[in-house]
Structure 1
Amino acid sequence: MKITPNRINSFMLFKLPLGWLSGLRVKTLKDGVCTVQIKHQWINQNPFKSMFWAAQGMAAEMSTGALVMYAISQSNQKVSMLVTKQEAEFYKKATGKIMFTCKGGHTIKQAIEKSIETKEGQVITLISRGKNEEADVVSKFSFEWSLKVKN
């Protein structure tokens, strides 16, 4: 089955309802790049009138995770995927629409190929940057993913 933004958004409605309710939406998923949008609103705000860090984290993780799912679907292999570490940096208040982008598709593909070759798990780090409507980076998230082709 082909992984598309619409399919991921539909999946989220039933399997990740908190992401759906907070306004998280996959906008693009192609050519090794995934962009996820989340808009500051009442349900995802903090007491300081900006987006709660955890809502930003959901969007950032989705931008990396959707890219991993896409690469797995392209590989025609069964691959286990798990976040093993996460770090974040915050630069500005997140208000308005925030777009989280991950450009790590090539890294994921290489890790899957190496796991096929070695039959061992691979650990990769994917970066997602959140930019506001003025294109200013508001936060940067780093996710360490463990990928292993199943026998």
Structure 2
Amino acid sequence: MNPHFPAFKRIIKNPVLFKFFVFQKLSAAFWAGLSIAHFDEKSCGVRVKLSWFNQNPFRSMYFAVEAMATEMSCGMLAFGQVYKRQPAVSMLVEKLEAKFVKKATGVIIFTCEDGEALRDTVNEALANPEGTKLQVTSIGRNQAGEIVAEFVFTWTFKAKNL
């Protein structure tokens, strides 16, 4: 595990520091109303509530807001593993696949449970000058626990100056 992960986790779990982090680094997520439902080394859940600001003309959540929330659920886990690493590790979404199962209304929580795989992949990137890739999944569920969307991201990681 990244020895700096606990420091990053403290930022994400503190409501004030999290809002500042999101406003500074992910301003669109700030305005869309994304928040952290849970966060640890293994999983991250991102909450988003349907509002006038993030809805489409059909009174459901705009697909881009869903994509943003699901990317954040995976990205926070990845960012926690690259946070303050030496050498620094770059991360980038290479590919996104999405399946929309049900209309997204109310409160949706997008959860990624691939934290351990992300940790291992970042560690591998530090040892491999070519970098590494990993597919991770995030699933969005409504308040009834029903799946509304499934996303698969391919993330790439590469250590800088190797």
TM-score normalised by L of structure 1:
0.92
The residue number in structure 2 matching 1:137 is 147
**2:47 is the alignment partner of 1:34:** no
Q: Which amino acid letter does the alignment assign opposite residue 95 of structure 2?
A: K
- For 2:136, the equivalent position in structure 1 comes to 126
Query: 70, 73, 78: which one pairs with 1:63?
Result: 73
Task: Please list the CA deviations of residues 74-106 of structure 1 after superposition, one character each: whole Å capped at 9, or x if unmatched.
Answer: 865411000111110001110111000001111
Of 40-49 and 11-20, deviating more is: 11-20
Identify if the C-alpha distance between structure 1 residues 127 and 74 changes in structure 2 by more than 3 Å, giving closer, same or farther: farther
Aligned residues: 151
SS in structure 2 at match of 1:42: coil
| Moved segments of 4+, more than 4 Å | 74-77
Return the offset for 1:72.
1.8
Which structure 2 residue ranges, 5 or more long, are not aligned? none
Distance in 1 of aligned mates of 2:96 and 2:123 = 24
| Identity percentage of aligned residues | 37
Do residues 51 (structure 1) and 61 (structure 2) align? yes
Contact in 1 for aligned 2:41/2:77 (Cα 8 Å):
no
CA contact (8 A) 1:9 1:26 kept: no
Tell me how large the CA RMSD over aligned residues is.
1.7
Q: Give, as a single letter, the amino acid of the residue that structure 1 aligns with 2:80.
A: Y
CA distance in 1, matches of 2:90, 2:24: 21
Structure 1: which 5+ runs fail to align? none
Shift of 1:116: 2.1
State whether residues 47 and 110 of structure 2, in contact with CA within 8 Å, keep that contact through their aligned partners in structure 1: yes
**Alpha-carbon distance between aligned partners in 2 of 1:12 and 1:85, rounded to the nearest angstrom:** 23
